């Protein structure tokens, strides 16, 4: 039947297609849909109509008055969303309100039933089919996300997600169609478009198919954007060098994953070498670039020495300090300041730092014969470690004055002659000594006298705790900062055990950086020559002297538990020290797969979750495979502050019994009061441990 354009009220003839001006269409009061269409749905319909026209007719009936007279308007029985979409287009001046709309006139069927039928009797397209069709539009027609989004009334980001899902392996899409995968799981596979990798991970999945596990396995060989190398190199430089960044369009990926770890390492090293070249231009003999700090370099390190500022710099520094105080007065932070004041204050602060830096400088010999390590810090910021001198250059970097007053060189022949004279009588010996008044006293007498002096020093020092503190601090400092074991007269030998060989990466952690900063802060203040160290320590006030002693003592702490080094009493003392310090390891350590959970048995993992979270949480992971269990436990324990027993600090006053050696040579920890059998696992918890094993 031919369509006609209707501009006036039509006769109530059913089953004809007519064109009605948009302004003559109204919402039917008998429309079954009471919850209105959302804005996004109307946007999508408007975009579809704009690019493809009206695909489906509106179903209408004439509006009549109570007496049955037509009003000239039509009620939309089915297609209210399309009517609203065309009104939106009219509002945007894309069409006029007189635009004819193709409609199907139906006065025979019940309008309420038609409206219900349209919304109920239909089968939505499976999402997988939608994803594939979007992918075809992109590949066959060459449309980008913006173009496709405009034609379907969705954002470009939504189109990108659908395109990524449509690019998933056809094998996995079919599994999704057959309900073998959920949409969340499919989205996890879509993190990369590598079909072979997707299928490999799918085949390797066990009963636990949590999306985060799939994402973890899909990116196992990639480098997260939060890695220090990625932060240092930057995404733009990596992509420019030909690298690819895998982006997860369906979850927070914090910058994605750098696919080529080898390329990233190369770029990071090259960038560090550029910095090393700039630093070497300061006059250093050498500069080396390393991603990780080379702990086994074995070199002696020199630190900058205090240098007096010029009168001009001192005056400028004083003026800047006054200006800084005036600008900062009344403000507690930069955020509270006007932009111009904050900018000026920051410039003043930078100049103060620049002048203050002149107070410290390396000796010219150290620069000429020493070098610099340029390494990558844990936060992706390059760190410059200056002042290292190779063994063959030490004499040139630190020439020592010749010893004076130590006696003349010994002539071997003179020693032989003296031994030959041992048989002469005492009188002859006395005559010879009288004849040589400048001859040193004998070694035996020297030992006797020095022994007496040593005894006198011991007694006297015991009566002067203040000087004992100075002498002890001097001895420790001389050895820990100058490597001169003979510089002190106290036979106290500090031992600093490197921790890098016992725990990979520990010396690159923030906590290690904090310890290094403390050491460098002291080193920069100390005199270069160890001969001046005593006067330096005497010149410190009591508080600073104690702080230096505490620093030296802290570097010798050793609480390592090693299978070949049995020291139960030392470990007991370490526990007591931890209690006295109220040590809280949880501030800097968290249980992760790498740090703990991936290196213990399933029973230990279940026990950790039971203690740190709850019995229910432990029950939920007890049947998982160990890798999956470790990953799940890491997420559950995040932020709980849970610690394994070896890291816990005993409560003050608790029984800190020494560990007992087991029959197999291992260490068995004695339970503290907080871990007594009375407060141990309940029957249910014990069953988890058995099941986990």
| pLDDT, tens digit (0-9, with 9 covering 90-100), for 55-65 | 888 999 999 88
Locate tokens 């400092």: which residue? 477
Mean pLDDT taken over the chain: 79
Residue 566 banded pLDDT, cuts 50, 70, 90: low
At 483, is the pLDDT very low, low, confident or very high (cuts 50, 70, 90)? low
As a whole number of Å, the CA-based R_g of the chain is 41
Flag whether pLDDT at 420 surpasses 50: no
**Of 219-223, 242-246, 286-290, which gets the smallest average pLDDT?**
219-223
Sign of torsion, CA 642 646 649 651? positive
d(CA 648, CA 10): 87
Chain centroid to CA 331: 32
Q: What is the 3-state secondary structure (H, E, C) of 409-443?
A: CCCHHHHHHHHHHHHCCHHHHHHHHHHCCCCCCCH
Apex CA 180: angle with CA 177 and CA 184, to 5°? 85
Residues 603/692, Cβ–Cβ less than 8 Å: yes
pLDDT for 438 equals 55
233 neighbors 262 (Cβ within 8 angstroms): no
Residue 569 CA to residue 449 CA, distance in Å, equals 39
Taken in order 335, 337, 339, 343, the sign of the CA dihedral is: negative
Cα 405 from Cα 99, distance rounded (Å): 114
DSSP letters spanning 352-400: HHHHHGGGEE--HHHHHH-EEEEEE-TTS-EEEEEEEE-GGGHHHHSPP
Residue 401 has pLDDT above 90, yes or no: no
Q: What residues have CB less than 8 Å from 493, skipping those under 6 apart? A: 479, 485
Indicate the pairing of strand 360-361 with strand 371-376.
Answer: unpaired
CA distance 164 to 527: 64
Q: How far is it, in rounded angstroms, from Cα 146 to Cα 107? A: 42
Quick check: helix, strand or coil at residue 387?
strand
Does 271 or 378 have the greater pLDDT score?
271
More confident residue, 266 or 296: 266
Axis-axis angle for helices 626-637, 211-218 (nearest 10):
110
Give the model confidence (pLDDT) of 379-400 as tens digits: 889 999 999 999 899 888 876 6
Pairing of strands 305-306, 660-661: unpaired
Task: Give me 498's structure tokens.
Answer: 């490197």
DSSP, collapsed to helix, strand or coil, labels residue 94 as coil
Would you say residue 429 has pLDDT above 60? no
Q: What is the pTM of this model?
A: 0.49
By DSSP bridging, strand 4-5 and strand 16-21 are: parallel
Q: What is the C-alpha to C-alpha distance for residues 562 and 581, in angstroms, rounded to an integer?
A: 23
Report the alpha-carbon distance of residue 376 to residue 508 in Å, rounded.
Answer: 9
Neighbour order of strands in the sheet with 371-376: 286-290, 371-376, 382-389, 300-301
d(CA 433, CA 439): 7
Which two tokens mark 299? 């070199």
pLDDT tens, position by position, 120-161: 766 677 888 878 888 888 888 888 888 887 777 777 878 888
Q: How many CA atoms, within 13 angstroms, populate the side-chain half-sphere of residue 662?
A: 8
pLDDT digits (tens, 9 = 90+) for 335-349: 788 888 888 988 998
For residue 641 the two structure tokens come to: 């502050």
């Amino acid at each position: 039947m031919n369509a006609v354009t209707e501009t006036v009220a039509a006769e109530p003839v059913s089953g004809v297609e007519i064109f009605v001006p948009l302004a003559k269409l109204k919402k039917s009061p008998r429309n079954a849909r009471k919850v209105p269409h959302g804005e996004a749905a109307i946007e999508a319909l408007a975009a579809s109509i704009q690019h493809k026209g009206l695909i489906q007719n509106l179903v209408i009936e004439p509006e009549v008055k109570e007496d049955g007279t037509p009003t000239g308007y039509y009620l939309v029985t089915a297609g209210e969303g399309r009517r609203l979409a065309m009104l939106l287009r009219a509002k945007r001046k894309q069409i006029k309100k007189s635009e004819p709309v193709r409609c199907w006139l139906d006065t025979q069927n019940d309008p309420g039933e038609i409206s219900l039928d349209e919304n109920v009797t239909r089968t939505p397209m499976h999402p997988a089919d939608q994803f594939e069709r979007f992918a075809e539009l992109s590949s066959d027609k060459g449309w980008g996300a913006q173009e496709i989004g405009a034609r379907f009334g969705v954002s470009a980001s939504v189109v990108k997600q659908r395109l990524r899902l449509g690019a998933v392996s056809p094998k996995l899409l079919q599994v999704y169609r057959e309900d073998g995968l959920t949409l969340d799981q499919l989205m996890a596979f879509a993190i990369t478009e590598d079909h072979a990798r997707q299928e490999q991970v799918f085949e390797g999945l066990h009963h636990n198919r949590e999306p985060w596990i799939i994402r973890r396995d899909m990116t196992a060989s990639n480098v997260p954007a939060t890695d220090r190398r990625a932060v240092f190199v930057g995404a733009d430089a990596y992509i420019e060098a030909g690298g690819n960044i895998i982006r997860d369009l369906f979850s927070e990926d914090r910058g994605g994953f750098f696919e080529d770890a080898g390329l990233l390492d190369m770029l990071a090293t090259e960038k560090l070498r550029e910095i090393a070249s700039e630093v070497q231009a300061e006059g250093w003999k050498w500069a080396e670039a390393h991603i990780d700090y080379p702990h086994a370099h074995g070199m002696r390190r020199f630190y900058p020495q205090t240098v007096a500022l010029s009168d001009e710099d001192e005056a400028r520094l004083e003026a800047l300090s006054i200006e800084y105080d005036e600008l900062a007065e009344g403000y507690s932070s930069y955020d509270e300041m006007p932009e111009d004041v904050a900018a000026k204050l920051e410039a003043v602060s930078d100049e103060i730092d620049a002048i203050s830096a002149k107070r410290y400088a390396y000796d010219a010999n150290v620069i000429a014969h020493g070098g610099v390590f340029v390494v990558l810090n844990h936060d992706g910021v390059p760190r410059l470690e200056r002042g290292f001198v190779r063994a063959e250059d030490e004499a040139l970097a630190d020439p020592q004055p010749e010893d004076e007053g130590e006696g003349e060189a010994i002539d071997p022949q003179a020693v032989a002659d003296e031994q030959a004279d041992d048989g002469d009588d005492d009188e002859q010996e006395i005559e010879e000594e009288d004849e040589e008044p400048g001859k040193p006293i004998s070694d035996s007498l020297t030992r006797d006298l020095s022994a007496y002096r040593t005894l006198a020093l011991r007694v006297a020092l015991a009566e002067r705790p203040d000087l004992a503190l100075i002498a002890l601090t001097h001895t420790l400092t001389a050895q820990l900062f100058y490597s001169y074991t003979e510089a002190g007269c106290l036979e106290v030998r500090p031992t600093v055990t490197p921790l890098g060989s016992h725990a990979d990466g520990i010396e690159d952690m923030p906590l290690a950086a904090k310890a290094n900063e403390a050491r460098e802060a002291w080193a920069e203040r100390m005199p270069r020559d160890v001969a001046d160290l005593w006067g330096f320590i005497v010149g410190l006030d009591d508080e600073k002297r104690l702080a230096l002693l505490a620093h030296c003592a802290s570097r010798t702490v050793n609480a390592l538990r090693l299978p070949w080094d049995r020291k139960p009493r030392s470990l007991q003392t370490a526990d007591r020290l931890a209690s006295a310090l109220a040590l809280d390891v949880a501030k800097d350590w968290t249980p992760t797969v790498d740090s703990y959970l991936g290196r213990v048995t399933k029973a230990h993992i279940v026990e950790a979750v039971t203690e740190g979270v709850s019995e229910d949480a432990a029950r939920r992971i007890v049947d998982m495979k160990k890798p999956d269990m470790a990953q799940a436990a890491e997420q559950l324990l995040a932020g709980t502050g849970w610690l394994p027993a070896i890291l816990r600090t005993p409560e003050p006053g608790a029984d800190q019994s020494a560990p007992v050696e087991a029959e197999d040579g291992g260490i068995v920890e004695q339970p503290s009061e907080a871990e007594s059998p009375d407060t141990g696992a309940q029957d249910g918890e014990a069953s988890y441990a058995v099941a986990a094993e």
